[in-house]
Amino acid sequence: MSVRVRYAPSPTGSPHVGNIRTALFNHLFSRHHGGVNIVRIEDTDRSRYVEGCEEEIIESLQYVGVEWQEGPDVGGPSAPYRQSERKGTGLYQPIIDRLLSSGAAYWAFDTTEELSEMRDYQQINKQPIGYYGGVWRDAPSSKVEEARAAGLPGVIRLKIPRDETIVVDDAIRGRVEIASNGVDDPVLIKADGMPTYHFAAMVDDQLMGITHVFRGEEWISSAPKHVVLIKALGWEPPVFVHVPVIKGKDGSKLSKRHGDTACLDFRRAGFLTEALANFIALIGWSPGGDRELMTMDEMAGAFDIKGIQPSPGIFDIEKLSWMNGNYIRQKPIDELAPMVRDYSFCSENQAYWETKNPAVASAMRLLVGTWQKDPDLVKSAIGLEQERVTSLAEFGTACEFFFVDEVTFDPKAVEKWKGQEHVPKMLDAFLEFFSGKSSVSTSECESLLRQFQEANGFDKLGPIVHPVRVALSGKTVGPGLFEMMSVLGPERIVRRLERAKEVLA
């Protein structure tokens, strides 16, 4: 069987983690089997349509590295790939006519008030909520024609059989049996003539030759309706793969406080494509063994539906940051430095951080300004901080002390080293050493500090290294001190040591 899968989002809002995971699973599954991945825009709900959302969906897929062979932007043999356009071609009409003529579907002309009264009655009597026929399910054709002739607004509903067991075969959970009496008659065609998801998605899947349908487990309750519809048309159902829900680390429904934001917000926050794809793919899917850091090729090679777990997947933003840090550390500096530059220069990213954390946005702008004047300094600083950051955004704040005229001193660090007897003497000695020099090597810096240690009888280098770090960066932690000193250079070191004498001596 040639695998054909589809990612079919609705342009009603920004794609989030759950949507993108489904798209990733489609991508990995189709690549694993050498099949075809399709993007289809399901835009029949015009009341919820959001302008620009389709473009954001495509951009999000591209950011995460999802590829597709057919879609609204690339075309294909099953075009068009927007359901509103497909409806315009008239391809749905013969199929709905088949359902009506066979008795598998029917017209219903209930008013809004009548539907509301029906729901109220069901709630009061503790009955299942839904449309189970009313007066129209078995209405004589004459009554239906009379209503249509009168121009009454009506919908077309699927007639769910009663007193039967509907079987849904799910690739993750196996055989699922549902009593048909608990399944209401869904609307297939709305009063405005637009098809609903229940109808258009299933029809399009058949017409496009979709073999496997990956979607969230929230659609399991609707699957019986889809099975009935497909069988009423004499078709074979695709393989349904209902992927597990995603929850926060605390076990509650995923929300913004867990980090569930629009997909493109992860790009604005400084997460790399490969890290985000790797992280999202592993939410609810296991490749087997202890593998975690995997390229897209490796994930595609290992992807198997059997690895998808029925239990909820967990969204852990700390794990994403850990992964992102690993991918950053793997980058050659000649590739990483331009990435940090482009990220920091992007006004969209700066605006994002201006809202989230203005200090980060300010540090990014400082990096941009310094790059324009001294790109070599910025590249060297990025190289030193590469081992410590977990996002592209962190380079701004991590490297900030390299670029400022005066560092901000950590009060606790000042308190610890201020008044120490050897500190003023040490600062004077180092000032004398660096004054007049144009450059200094890492080995020279190390030799200088070790000579002072030995000359002044210190058993360890710590009492020398720590106050010097504070004097030069204002911080107690950072990259290797000797490398940091070499990057700062004698001129900056002298200015900072002179100021440190006022603060620490």
- Buried/exposed 301-339: b ≥16 CB within 10 Å, e otherwise: ebbebeebeeebbbbbbeebbebbbbbbeeeeeeebbeb
Closest CA to 203 of 79, 83, 38: 83
Task: Report CA-CA distances (Å) from 322 to 276, 279, 388.
Answer: 11, 10, 11
The whole-angstrom separation of Cα 415 and Cα 476 is 12
The length of the chain, given as a count of residues: 505
Answer yes or no: are the C-beta atoms of 188 and 157 closer than 8 Å: yes
pLDDT above 90 as % of the chain: 92
Give Cα 174 distance to the centre of its chain: 29
| Confidence tier at 261 by pLDDT (50, 70, 90) | confident
| Confidence tier at 251 by pLDDT (50, 70, 90) | confident
Residue 324 forms part of a structural domain? no
Answer yes or no: are the C-beta atoms of 489 and 445 closer than 8 Å: no
Q: What is the CATH number of the domain that holds 454?
A: 1.10.10.350
Residue 128 has pLDDT above 90, yes or no: no
Task: Answer yes or no: do 63 and 102 share one domain.
Answer: no
Q: For 473-498, what is the mean pLDDT?
A: 96
Per residue in 318-333, pLDDT (tens digit) is 999 999 999 999 999 9
pTM, to two decimals: 0.92
Greatest extent of the chain over all pairs of C-alpha atoms, in Å: 109
Identify the domain boundary among 383, 403, 423: 403
Count of other CB atoms within 10 angstroms of residue 436: 9
Residues 6+ apart with CB under 8 A from 227: 166, 167, 168, 237
Residue 326 forms part of a structural domain? no
Scan for tokens 């129209």, then name that residue: 136
The 3-state DSSP class for residue 140 equals coil
Beta pairing partners, 216: 243
Strand residue runs (E) in 231-288: 239-243, 246-248
Residue 458: per-residue pLDDT:
95
The whole-angstrom separation of Cα 476 and Cα 206 is 63
Q: For 194-202, what is the mean pLDDT?
A: 96
Q: For 131-145, what is the mean pLDDT?
A: 93
Residue 323 forms part of a structural domain? no
Task: Answer yes or no: do 349 and 283 share one domain.
Answer: no
Per residue in 440-474, pLDDT (tens digit) is 999 999 999 999 999 999 999 999 999 999 999 99
Residue 260 has pLDDT above 70, yes or no: no
Per residue in 406-419, pLDDT (tens digit) is 999 999 999 999 98
Task: Answer yes or no: do 31 and 141 share one domain.
Answer: no
Identify the domain boundary among 212, 243, 274: 243
Residue 47: per-residue pLDDT:
84
Residues 6+ apart with CB under 8 A from 277: 24, 64, 65, 296, 299
**Token pair in block for residue 363:** 């540090």
How many independent structural domains does the chain possess?
A: 4
CA dihedral defined by 217, 218, 223, 226, rounded to 10 degrees?
-120
Task: Answer yes or no: do 95 and 197 share one domain.
Answer: yes
Q: What is the CATH number of the domain that holds 282?
A: 3.40.50.620
| Confidence tier at 107 by pLDDT (50, 70, 90) | very high
The whole-angstrom separation of Cα 82 and Cα 385 is 46
Identify the domain boundary among 364, 380, 403: 403
Answer yes or no: are the C-beta atoms of 84 and 77 closer than 8 Å: no
Task: Answer yes or no: do 100 and 234 share one domain.
Answer: yes
Measured CA angle at 216 (ends 213, 218), to 5 deg: 120
Task: Answer yes or no: do 150 and 270 share one domain.
Answer: no
Per residue in 15-51, pLDDT (tens digit) is 999 999 999 999 999 999 999 999 999 998 888 889 9
Answer yes or no: are the C-beta atoms of 118 and 108 closer than 8 Å: no
Task: Answer yes or no: do 124 and 169 share one domain.
Answer: yes
Per residue in 145-167, pLDDT (tens digit) is 999 999 999 999 999 999 999 99
Residue 495 forms part of a structural domain? yes
Residue 505 has pLDDT above 80, yes or no: no
Residue 325 forms part of a structural domain? no
Closest CA to 81 of 39, 24, 51, 34: 39
Residue 322 forms part of a structural domain? no
Residue 259: per-residue pLDDT:
66
The 3-state DSSP class for residue 112 equals helix
Residue 94 forms part of a structural domain? yes
Mean pLDDT of the chain: 95
CA dihedral defined by 370, 371, 374, 378, rounded to 10 degrees?
90
Closest CA to 145 of 109, 115, 92: 109
Q: For 211-217, what is the mean pLDDT?
A: 97
Per residue in 271-315, pLDDT (tens digit) is 999 999 999 999 999 998 889 999 999 999 999 999 999 999 999
The whole-angstrom separation of Cα 267 and Cα 248 is 20
Nearest-10 crossing angle of helices 375-385, 358-373: 130
Give Cα 227 distance to the centre of its chain: 31
Measured CA angle at 57 (ends 55, 62), to 5 deg: 95
Task: Answer yes or no: do 350 and 449 share one domain.
Answer: no
The whole-angstrom separation of Cα 143 and Cα 133 is 15
Residue 256: per-residue pLDDT:
66
Gyration radius of the chain over CA positions: 32
Residue 170: per-residue pLDDT:
97
Catalytic, 256? Answer yes
Nearest-10 crossing angle of helices 481-504, 375-385: 100
CA dihedral defined by 29, 33, 34, 36, rounded to 10 degrees?
-50
Task: Answer yes or no: do 214 and 345 share one domain.
Answer: no
For strands 36-39 and 155-158, give the pairing: unpaired
Residue 273 forms part of a structural domain? yes
The whole-angstrom separation of Cα 88 and Cα 103 is 25
Residues 6+ apart with CB under 8 A from 115: 131
The whole-angstrom separation of Cα 127 and Cα 125 is 5
Task: Answer yes or no: do 438 and 397 share one domain.
Answer: no
Annotated active-site residue in 143, 249, 253, 256: 256
Task: Answer yes or no: do 9 and 148 share one domain.
Answer: no
Task: Answer yes or no: do 82 and 190 share one domain.
Answer: no
The one-letter amino acid code at 17 reads V
Q: Which domain holds residue 30?
A: 4-87+246-317
Closest CA to 331 of 398, 387, 266, 399: 387
The whole-angstrom separation of Cα 265 and Cα 345 is 16
Scan for tokens 């729901």, then name that residue: 119
